[in-house]
Structure 1
Amino acid sequence: MKARDLSVLLGVILIIIMLVVPLPGWLLSVLILCNISLALVVILVSMNTQEALQFSIFPSLLLLLTLFRLGLNVSTTRSILSEANGGGVIDTFGSFVIGNNPLVGFVVFVILVIIQFLVITKGAERVSEVAARFTLDAMPGKQMSIDADLNAGLISEQQAKERREKVENEADFHGAMDGASKFVKGDAIAGIVIVLINIIFGLVIGMVQMGFTFTEAVNTYMRLTVGDGLVSQIPALLIATATGIVVTKTTTTGNLGTDVSRQLLQYPKLLFIAAGTIFLIGLTPINFMLTAIIAFSLALGGYVLLKQTDETEEPDMEEEEQAESSSMNSPENVVNLLNMDPIEFEFGYALIPLADADQGGDLLDRVVMIRRQLAIELGIVVPVVRIRDNIQLEPNGYRLKIKGNEVAAGELLLNHYLAMTPEMDDDEIEGISTKEPAFGLPAKWIGEEHKDEAELSGYTVVDPPSVVSTHITEVIKRHAHSLLGRQETKQLIDHLKESYPILVDEVTPDPLSVGDIQKVLAKLLRENVSVRNLPIIFETLADFGKMTNDTDLLAEYVRQALAPQITRQYAGDDMALNVITVSGQVEKMIAENIQQTEHGNYLALDPESQEQIIKTIHEEVEKMTLQEETAIVLCSPAVRMYLKQLLERFLPQVVVLSYNDLEPGVNVQSVGVVNVA
């Protein structure tokens, strides 16, 4: 155990001993001086900290110091009442304050106690209580502000984590200070009671047991009581003052002395006004010489400060310009320009109210919810979305970029609603014709006055924030595979390793690298298959990774392992599925034209056959679309990924499943067949 830890433990044990074991006068004097020294150190530390959390141990320290001081009070009271002796320090303090008049000395001591109890202690207790309540009330707002900065890209995930920890620590600290300040108040009350006990019982013991006269008893016990009270109340006053300083301290760039001198003297011209006022007061019967000296000192101080301010303004401006110039010309500044945000959302100036919280905008909060929603649905951590306005865009326009490339754009009309209806030619409601940006459905922008009418007519009415939120969500889903890089994959692997270390070690780095795993996960995400169930995915990779390193084939094995998830995704709770099946002739044609190379397998079908297959599937998909059903093509496992590769460029929205992707209990109904002449 370290010496520091041992010293604290020994100190607590010593306090307990002081409560029950009589101590000699010389040891009491040593402990009293130690108490005063500790109080001085505490108040000096509290004055030199820049923020309250830099002295986070203060609530616990306050309890220990209070207990130490009460233990001293018990020991000194025992010594005073039993031996009429409290040690050299107490006797010296008492004699110095009382002098030749015990009554005056006692009055001075009472005034000190009143200041300690009614002003310092009571004020510190009230400030601690209010600070704790306001800190707790402000926690939700601070958390929302951190989330908003994170989503706006102003801070990183690590910085957001540190800020959240600081908010929690501030709440814990002020809550602890609220409770600890009660000890300061209790200590002050105990000090008053102990003084009364020393005086009353001291007089009784002195006259009854020790044979003192009343005058001797008063002189002796009044001196010792006042001395004991002073050596106790002075540290208590310092600790109570330190409590008030800590709980009233706001975050600054300097300590208390620096802040007071800088902020109190930041307006030198005001010192001239103060000097003139003091000089005018000297024209009254008050001592003119004294007021003139003070007024002259104030005026001289104002002149010196004003001259220093004038001299430093121009150099500061020059230094700022030089610093700005050197910053623009530094190589680091150019390197920073190479950074690219994974996801950027830009909007025209007319859409600023969407993101401005002061104008009621909640886009930042919606983006937070989108990231959480996608983490649950897709199983990946979506990067921070950088949100900013762009004057180069149309006033009502917006666009979404992924890794610097524009992937989606749209237009919003604030103070309007987007009304959608399945009836293509429905013109019952007046509005501006448009298309819903996320799914391309026909829609209209309608005014507030037509909202109720549209809802009664069967329209789906959505406000602009919901429109853009849905668009952002769908675009990120479609491009999730491109957002999952090796770094993001490594984070997922590290997270899985915390719970399944053996499983992860069996898969990576041998036989599969992080890049291989990233390719498998990206292939799943490309076809809208969630990778949240990483344990099942890694179990499959562990089984088949030693047999092949073909990531396309490994992705097919993973799909088969995720059959319950895929089945539930498309068949729903009723376990029924309408599909377009692929004929044996087409499957045979695809299987016979698979080319095997050292870099993987690919489909080498002649263009005419490709066109026939795509045309047939397109016709069947249109039929299902008219019936408002999801277009799903069902084929054998051997040709599934090659058929998907064929359709991906021309019909990317079509879902291609194999029989192994579905659970045996699914009720599959074929509504069309893919065949060629």
Structure 2
Amino acid sequence: MKAKDLTILVAIIGIVLMMVIPIPTWLLDVLLIINISTALMILLISMNTKDALDFSIFPAMLLITTLFRLALNISTTRNILQYGEAGHVVATFGNWVAGGEIAIGFVVFLILVVVQFIVITKGSERVAEVGARFTLDAMPGKQMSIDADLNAGLINEQQARERRQKIEREADFYGSMDGASKFVKGDAIASIIILLINLIGGFVIGMAIHGMPFGESLSTFSVLTIGDGLVSQIPALLISTAAGLIVTRAASEGNLAYDVTNQMFRYPKLLYIVAGTITLLGIGTPIGMLSTLPLAGLLVIAGYRMQNTLAKRQLQEEQMEEEQQIEEVRSPESVISLLQVDPIEFEFGYGLIPLADTQQGGDLLDRIIMIRRQCALELGLVVPVIRIRDNIQLKPNEYVIKIKGNTVARGELLLNHYLAMSPGFDDDSVIGIETTEPAFGLPAIWIDEVTKERAELSGYTVVDPPSVVATHLTEIIKRHAHELIGRQETKTLVENVRETYPALVDELIPSILSFGDVQKVLAKLLREKISIRDMVTIFETLADHGVYSKDPDILTEYVRQALSRQITQQFSQNNDTMKVITVGPSLEKKIAESVQQSDQGSYLALDPIATQTIYQKLNEQVSKQIQSGYQPIVLASPTIRMYLRQIVERTMQDIPVLSYSELEPSVEVQSIGVVNL
């Protein structure tokens, strides 16, 4: 056993022996001074701790100091009753507080007892009880939070273990404080009982045993009783205050002095209000300016100095932040941040800043939120956060849309104007600036507020600049949706399905397909604007056919067939008829004969002349269908659909290519054109 451990054991045993062994007055004086010093040290430590667990030994110290104080009370009581004295410390406290008036001494002592027992001890006991209850109730939630951070990779196993240990220590600490606070309450009650014993017993013993006169006995034992009570109550009051500070400290960044100076004096202007109030109190009441003006002046000076200090501190923080940014730019690691590429960016010239500035009435941010919601409903895709920034290199009214750092679209807007698109016939009275609608490439004109009503009466489609941007951005996202879904985004979608269909996901990934295989299929569906919102059907189909083939093209065809109802409703008119351009037998035979097989899968090997001929024939039929007012849809057999799509998407990306197996039997298919070689 170490020497310090042996010292603590001997001290505890010595405290117990003090209760039964008489102690000389000189040693009693030393022990009383030690008691006061220990209580003061505990109070200072409790004021300088940042966390309650930094002083986790406090409940045990509370018991030890209470036991030590009771042992001293017994020793002083023995000396008072036996010898009529209890040392210089007790006598000094009694004479100093009483000041020759015994009644005053009793009143002061009783006030100290009331303050400790009713105010501090009672409050500390209640706070400790509530703190223990809340800590225990919060343990399951804190444990779940730690497990969630651990599963998400935000912390490692060692950090999780340390957090769990801290939670357990907090529960043990507040539970111990709840019990230890009862020691302080019992000590306050015991001090009152000891006071009565010393006073009544000493008065009787003084006259009966020591032969003192009535007045001398009353004076002697009253002073000693008051002194003994104060010597024990002052350390008890300090310990009770320390207990209250420990259990009432909330989460903070520093000790008590730091929190007080940084939170109580954070608003120096409020000191001016207090100073003005005190000055008015001195002017309007009999208190007088002599008592209030000096304090008001001190408050004004303190507020002024604090305001200057806060201004200097803020300036220093700004300078330090600028220096830190400069150091980050100079550091070799700063280049890494430049490698980050945003999935979607929207940049605009300075003339279009009012679109994004909410203070100027811009609602672009709200519209982008709606765009993300719309894409989630229509495509089943969670669109990444769109980065919005101004770019002085652009023209004032120009904007560009970037996908992964590359410009994919641009346009120009005229604020305070409206974009009007003709219904098919022009009205000469509608005059404006000719332009092109950016989303679909339609001819349009920019008109002013005066011409807007006339254009609407003439059948023009009139939209404001924010709607033009929102429509353009929506179409770009839909057109490039397949580029926005990667393996990480696929994993997010998979985890969302796992919450409700865990068996399906566990069967599919990773035993049958990997995240990369699933991502390729989803990207191919989005490339043709097929919604992936019905993830359950998609995963069911992949689980059924993924055991036979890992080719993403073949798996995509199976998934499209499983989504036949969705595809039919998407492209049919009124859900009962569909006007299509069919692929003739000669073209189907040519494509089927040009399919080549390899180790990496099948591919289409057409000569350039045949490819060009297919383009021309198909373009003729598409133009006829557009002139007739119908949406061009190409219908082919399931065996060649994906190969025909590879030909069509090179020049006519927006033309859907469907197969017979992707249509519901209830829909009526009407062929209004045939493509043959």
* Alignment correspondent of 1:597: 597
Per-residue CA deviations over 1:43-98 (Å, capped at 9, x if unaligned) read 3123xxxxxxxx5989xx99x99999899999999x999x989xxxxx99987765
Are 1:199 and 1:222, in contact at CA under 8 Å, matched by a contact in 2?
A: no
* Alignment correspondent of 1:295: none
Closer/same/farther in 2, CA of residues 456 and 607 from structure 1, 3 Å limit: closer
Are 2:94 and 2:228, in contact at CA under 8 Å, matched by a contact in 1?
A: no
After alignment, is 468-477 or 410-419 more displaced? 410-419
Structure 1 position 476, deviation (Å): 1.4
Percentage of matched positions with identical amino acids = 40
Closer/same/farther in 2, CA of residues 487 and 196 from structure 1, 3 Å limit: closer
State how far apart, in whole Å, the 2-side matches of 1:635 and 1:496 are. 33
Note the 1:84-233 alignment, pairs <5 A.
99-102=95-98, 103=104, 107=108, 226=230, 230-233=234-237
Structure 1 position 483, deviation (Å): 2.1
Are 1:579 and 1:634, in contact at CA under 8 Å, matched by a contact in 2?
A: no
State how far apart, in whole Å, the 2-side matches of 1:615 and 1:36 are. 95
* Alignment correspondent of 1:348: 349
Are 2:421 and 2:462, in contact at CA under 8 Å, matched by a contact in 1?
A: yes
Closer/same/farther in 2, CA of residues 117 and 636 from structure 1, 3 Å limit: same
1:604 partner letter = L
Which of 41, 44, 49 aligns to 2:48? It is 44
1:593 partner letter = E
Are 2:611 and 2:647, in contact at CA under 8 Å, matched by a contact in 1?
A: no
Are 2:485 and 2:519, in contact at CA under 8 Å, matched by a contact in 1?
A: yes
* Alignment correspondent of 2:518: 517
State how far apart, in whole Å, the 1-side matches of 2:89 and 2:336 are. 68
State how far apart, in whole Å, the 2-side matches of 1:69 and 1:657 are. 82
After alignment, is 369-378 or 346-355 more displaced? 369-378
Closer/same/farther in 2, CA of residues 660 and 351 from structure 1, 3 Å limit: same
Structure 1 position 454, deviation (Å): 6.0
Q: SS of the counterpart of 1:467?
A: helix
1:546 partner letter = V
* Alignment correspondent of 2:662: 661
Are 1:40 and 1:235, in contact at CA under 8 Å, matched by a contact in 2?
A: no
* Alignment correspondent of 2:627: 623
* Alignment correspondent of 1:530: 531
* Alignment correspondent of 1:11: none
RMSD (CA atoms): 5.9
Closer/same/farther in 2, CA of residues 560 and 237 from structure 1, 3 Å limit: same
Which TM-score applies when normalising by structure 2?
Answer: 0.59
Closer/same/farther in 2, CA of residues 207 and 520 from structure 1, 3 Å limit: same
State how far apart, in whole Å, the 1-side matches of 2:590 and 2:88 are. 106
Are 1:580 and 1:620, in contact at CA under 8 Å, matched by a contact in 2?
A: no
State how far apart, in whole Å, the 1-side matches of 2:221 and 2:457 are. 96
Q: SS of the counterpart of 2:395?
A: coil
State how far apart, in whole Å, the 2-side matches of 1:117 and 1:648 are. 82
Closer/same/farther in 2, CA of residues 487 and 194 from structure 1, 3 Å limit: closer
Structure 1 position 501, deviation (Å): 5.5
* Alignment correspondent of 1:580: 580
State how far apart, in whole Å, the 2-side matches of 1:98 and 1:652 are. 101
Which TM-score applies when normalising by structure 1?
Answer: 0.59
State how far apart, in whole Å, the 1-side matches of 2:63 and 2:424 are. 84
Per-residue CA deviations over 1:320-373 (Å, capped at 9, x if unaligned) read 69x958954x55444554443332221112223333455454444544453454
* Alignment correspondent of 1:541: 542
Q: SS of the counterpart of 1:673?
A: strand
* Alignment correspondent of 2:275: none
* Alignment correspondent of 1:385: 386
Q: SS of the counterpart of 1:391?
A: coil
* Alignment correspondent of 1:10: none
Structure 1 position 392, deviation (Å): 1.0
Are 1:398 and 1:410, in contact at CA under 8 Å, matched by a contact in 2?
A: yes
State how far apart, in whole Å, the 1-side matches of 2:505 and 2:237 are. 64
Structure 1 position 556, deviation (Å): 0.4
Structure 1 position 646, deviation (Å): 2.2
* Alignment correspondent of 1:405: 406
Per-residue CA deviations over 1:494-520 (Å, capped at 9, x if unaligned) read 555566555445445555444333222
Q: SS of the counterpart of 2:49?
A: helix
Closer/same/farther in 2, CA of residues 489 and 96 from structure 1, 3 Å limit: farther
* Alignment correspondent of 1:171: none
* Alignment correspondent of 2:551: 550
* Alignment correspondent of 2:481: 480
Note the 1:444-459 alignment, pairs <5 A.
444-447=445-448
1:619 partner letter = S
* Alignment correspondent of 2:167: none
Structure 1 position 474, deviation (Å): 1.9
Which of 217, 233, 238 aligns to 1:234? It is 238
State how far apart, in whole Å, the 2-side matches of 1:466 and 1:31 are. 79
Query: Is structure 2 residue 606 aligned with structure 1 residue 610?
Result: no
Q: SS of the counterpart of 1:637?
A: coil
Structure 1 position 459, deviation (Å): 5.5
Structure 1 position 394, deviation (Å): 0.3
* Alignment correspondent of 2:143: none
Are 2:344 and 2:403, in contact at CA under 8 Å, matched by a contact in 1?
A: yes
2:351 partner letter = A
Closer/same/farther in 2, CA of residues 201 and 508 from structure 1, 3 Å limit: closer
State how far apart, in whole Å, the 2-side matches of 1:230 and 1:465 are. 73
Per-residue CA deviations over 1:244-293 (Å, capped at 9, x if unaligned) read 9857x6x79x99669979xx9xxxxxxxxxxxxxxxxxxxxxxxxxxxxx
Structure 1 position 400, deviation (Å): 1.0
Closer/same/farther in 2, CA of residues 40 and 429 from structure 1, 3 Å limit: farther
Are 1:620 and 1:672, in contact at CA under 8 Å, matched by a contact in 2?
A: no
Per-residue CA deviations over 1:73-129 (Å, capped at 9, x if unaligned) read 99999x999x989xxxxx9998776554343696599699989989xx9xxx9xxxx
Structure 1 position 412, deviation (Å): 2.3
2:638 partner letter = P
Closer/same/farther in 2, CA of residues 35 and 404 from structure 1, 3 Å limit: same
Are 1:511 and 1:545, in contact at CA under 8 Å, matched by a contact in 2?
A: yes
1:352 partner letter = I
Per-residue CA deviations over 1:359-396 (Å, capped at 9, x if unaligned) read 45444454445345434443344333332221110011
Per-residue CA deviations over 1:140-188 (Å, capped at 9, x if unaligned) read xxxxxxxxxxxxxxxxxx9999xxxxxxxxxxxxxxxxxx9xx99xx9x
State how far apart, in whole Å, the 2-side matches of 1:567 and 1:210 are. 107
Note the 1:237-256 alignment, pairs <5 A.
237-238=241-242
1:613 partner letter = K
Per-residue CA deviations over 1:573-615 (Å, capped at 9, x if unaligned) read x533432141553564455434222041326371464034313
Q: SS of the counterpart of 1:401?
A: strand
* Alignment correspondent of 2:465: 464
Are 1:203 and 1:214, in contact at CA under 8 Å, matched by a contact in 2?
A: no
1:532 partner letter = R
After alignment, is 445-454 or 650-659 more displaced? 445-454
State how far apart, in whole Å, the 1-side matches of 2:453 and 2:190 are. 80
For the pair shown, the structure with the greater C-alpha radius of gyration is: 2
Are 1:93 and 1:231, in contact at CA under 8 Å, matched by a contact in 2?
A: no
1:597 partner letter = Q
State how far apart, in whole Å, the 2-side matches of 1:509 and 1:503 are. 11
Q: SS of the counterpart of 2:532?
A: coil
Are 2:596 and 2:603, in contact at CA under 8 Å, matched by a contact in 1?
A: yes
Closer/same/farther in 2, CA of residues 258 and 245 from structure 1, 3 Å limit: closer
Structure 1 position 197, deviation (Å): 11
Q: SS of the counterpart of 2:539?
A: helix
Closer/same/farther in 2, CA of residues 669 and 113 from structure 1, 3 Å limit: farther
2:673 partner letter = V
State how far apart, in whole Å, the 2-side matches of 1:199 and 1:45 are. 32
